[in-house]
């Protein structure tokens, strides 16, 4: 899948594409996992404190978004399938999410990490939105939106990824929904970067933006969006959130009783916030992964 000019490691991606703001904490990334399912309720089962749920049902439907992105070229089917051929091939359910119409709710599990992360990454990058066109990604001081890991690192498009950047109306938001996405994405951080999702400079941030847009378009409430975002971060950064939970408990707070909005904020979930938490808790986060496909 990778070309001679494509960075093969996280460090390579950061050196080639990231600004100094997106470098912070970039080595502590864990990917998430999704799989489609029929239930419409949120589920969290058999979960010791600090671990991602074994299964979470999101209050949204994926539908035929994968097929739309393939048709538009945000996802090059041949490149995408070639990537996963080297990982055992696509399952029937994954193929449905990519090429068909997936009915029912989207279920997050531990088993399909990179696959839907990549789908959501493509959605966030390709869907037309003023956050990408007028927000911090377009700030001239960073030298262009193509310089980030979330854009330069997306090598699974037909042609240059920037040809698809905010170019397709996969999701149309009302003014109220757009305001909701902007407000919430500005409050959601991730431990690999010091930027909120409204500045989606890495794949996790771009995927989160896509998720929030999709949820808002389907009528999700602010509470549902924050809850889903925290569940996603727990899949993406399992070890980091185990430490955050330990830290909260050391301060006499039960992590399950702290609002998702607070946990997702800069104090705990940003790279600098998590570094402060980690210094206060004995032990280090476990796990690997990268900001690549």
Selected residue with higher pLDDT from 119 and 30: 119
Q: 34 pLDDT exceeds 70?
A: no
**Residue 114 pLDDT class (50, 70, 90 cuts):** confident
pLDDT > 90: percent of the chain: 64
Q: 26 pLDDT exceeds 80?
A: no
Summarised one tens digit per residue, pLDDT across range 174-214 is: 999 999 999 999 999 999 999 999 999 999 999 999 999 99
**Residue 219 pLDDT class (50, 70, 90 cuts):** very high
Instruction: Identify the pLDDT of residue 113.
Output: 61
- Tell me the three-class secondary structure of the chain, residue by residue: CCCCCCCCCHHHHHHHHCCHHHHCCCCCCCCCCCEECCCCCCCCCCCCCCCCCCEEEEEEEEECHHHHHHHHCCCCHHHHHHHHHCCCCCCHHHHHHHHCCEEEEEEEECCCHHHHHHHHHHHHHHECCHHHHHCHHHCHHHCCHHHCHHHHCCCCCCCCHHHCCCCECCCCCCHHHHHHHHHHHCCCCCCCCCCCCCCCCCHHHHHHHHHHHHHHHCCCCHHHHHHHHHHHHHHHCHHHHHHHHHHHHHCCCCHHHCCHHHHCCHHHHCHHHHHHHHHHCCCCCCCCCCCCC
Whole-model pTM: value is: 0.82
Per-domain residue ranges of the chain = 10-280
Q: Which of 21-30, 88-97, 153-162 has the lowest mean pLDDT?
A: 21-30
Instruction: Identify the pLDDT of residue 83.
Output: 94
């Amino acid at each position: 899948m990778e070309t001679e000019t494509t960075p093969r490691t996280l460090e390579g991606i950061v050196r080639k594409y990231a600004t100094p703001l997106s470098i912070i904490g970039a080595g502590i990334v864990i990917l998430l996992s999704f799989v489609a399912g029929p239930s419409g309720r949120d589920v969290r089962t058999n979960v010791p404190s600090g671990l991602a749920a074994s299964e979470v049902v999101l209050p949204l439907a994926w539908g035929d978004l994968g097929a739309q992105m393939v048709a538009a070229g945000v996802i090059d089917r041949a490149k995408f399938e070639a990537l996963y051929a080297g990982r055992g091939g696509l399952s029937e359910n994954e193929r449905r999410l990519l090429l068909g119409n997936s009915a029912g709710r989207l279920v997050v599990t531990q088993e399909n990490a990179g696959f839907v992360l990549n789908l959501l990454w493509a959605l966030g990058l390709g869907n037309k939105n003023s956050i990408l066109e007028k927000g911090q990604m377009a700030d001239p001081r960073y030298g262009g939106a193509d310089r980030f890991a979330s854009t330069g690192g997306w090598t699974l498009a037909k042609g240059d990824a920037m040809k698809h950047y905010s170019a397709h109306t996969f999701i149309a938001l009302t003014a109220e929904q757009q305001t909701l996405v902007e407000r919430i994405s500005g409050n959601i951080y991730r431990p690999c970067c010091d930027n909120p999702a409204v500045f989606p400079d890495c794949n996790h941030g771009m995927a989160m933006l896509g998720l929030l847009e999709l949820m808002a378009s389907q009528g999700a409430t602010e509470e549902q969006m924050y809850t889903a975002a925290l569940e996603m971060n727990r899949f993406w950064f399992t070890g980091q959130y185990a430490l955050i939970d330990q830290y909260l408990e050391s301060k006499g707070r039960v992590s399950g009783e702290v609002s998702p909005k607070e946990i997702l904020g800069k104090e705990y979930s940003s790279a600098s916030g998590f570094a402060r938490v980690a210094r206060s808790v004995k032990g280090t986060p476990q796990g690997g992964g990268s900001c690549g496909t």
